[in-house]
Amino acid sequence: MKVRFWGVRGSYPVPGPDTNRYGGNTSCVAVRAGDDDDGPFIIIDAGTGIRKLGKEMMQSEFGAGTGQAHLLVSHTHWDHIQGLPFFAPVYQKGNKFFVYARQRDDTHLRAVFASQTDSPYFPVPFENVQADVAFRELVEGARFEIGPVKVSCTRLNHPWIAIAYRLDCDGKSVCYVTDTAPFRDILIEQEYIRQPPKPGDPLSPSDAAKLAAMRDGVVRLCEGADLVIYDTQFTPEEYKVRPHWGHSCPEDAIEIARAAGAKGVVLFHHAPERTDDQIDELLAAHRKTTPDLQLLAAAEGMEITLGPEGKGHEVKTHK
């Protein structure tokens, strides 16, 4: 499998000289299964990074209206879907897309995506999409197949609930775990928490049990994975101020990866205010204390090919 990053930031896009190296677009990752890129084309999340991905896709069969792809959405917060109205392949007749996201109790998935282009927010309504777009709503813990790729998912600790994905194909596996808070201080089930408890405050037995079950689900999902892409938007100091925002630190990603026996971790969903130099410093500091894991920081254009057993991943950069 090849994993390529098209958007790596959280919250909102941040173009500029301080974010040029790692990139300023919001979440979007493309996965191509198969040894010769002949497997299914899978996109995870549709932040602003999907716009540039779409331009490249239009140079292939998608430009001719004969392409097919699968979009896995972790959740429908703005930074994970805001690029979709600018994704050129959906306006090309003949293309086929399958969109997967967690089932909601109140709204059908198609209506969620259609509402973001309603007047007066966007000049082109969702009805103008020319591609064949099918929506598939998922329940927590769902397992399904996309061709030879086995997909599984589990719940995360985030406002309005996000889900993590694992993709398995040809003996290789990649996990995508964003957005989530740690599983120790606060259970996030509401969209907005007015008075969040402080980290370290005692949990109710019910909340503690739910968090333990959620953590177990994430560890099982990541068990033995070759690569775990994990939400690391906060430093520990930043998390203490905003524990209810639903994001983790590099320390949390490393702890989960070790518990799961994963081989490599990619720091992802970088804080929008984090400069390239600061990401460099974070990565260098954690590499010193984490010799047992291959540790990378996600950057736009970075492509990781999951290598043969016993060898490290091949990492290339495309600009």
pLDDT given for residue 314 in this prediction: 82
Q: Give me the CATH number covering residue 15.
A: 3.60.15.10
Report strand pairing: 264-268 vs 294-297: parallel
Residues in the chain: 319
Q: Given this model, what pLDDT does residue 12 score?
A: 96
Residue 194: CB atoms within 10 A of its CB come to 6
Would you report the helix, strand and coil content of the chain in percent, each value rounded to 5?
Answer: 25, 25, 50
Count: domains in the chain: 1
pLDDT digit string (tens) for the chain, length 319 residues: 999 999 999 999 999 999 999 999 999 999 998 766 678 999 999 999 999 999 999 999 999 999 999 999 999 999 999 999 999 999 999 999 999 999 887 778 888 889 999 989 899 999 999 999 999 999 989 999 999 999 999 999 999 889 999 999 989 999 999 999 999 989 998 776 777 777 778 888 999 999 999 999 999 999 999 999 999 999 999 999 999 999 999 999 999 999 999 999 999 999 999 999 999 999 999 999 999 999 999 999 999 999 666 556 788 777 6
Q: Which helix (H) or strand (E) is 70 found in, with range?
A: strand 68-72
For 54, the domain range is 2-317
DSSP string, 210-279: HHHHHHHHHHHHTTT-SEEEEE----HHHHHH-GGG----HHHHHHHHHHHT-SEEEEESB-TT--HHHH
**Residues in a beta bridge with 263:** none
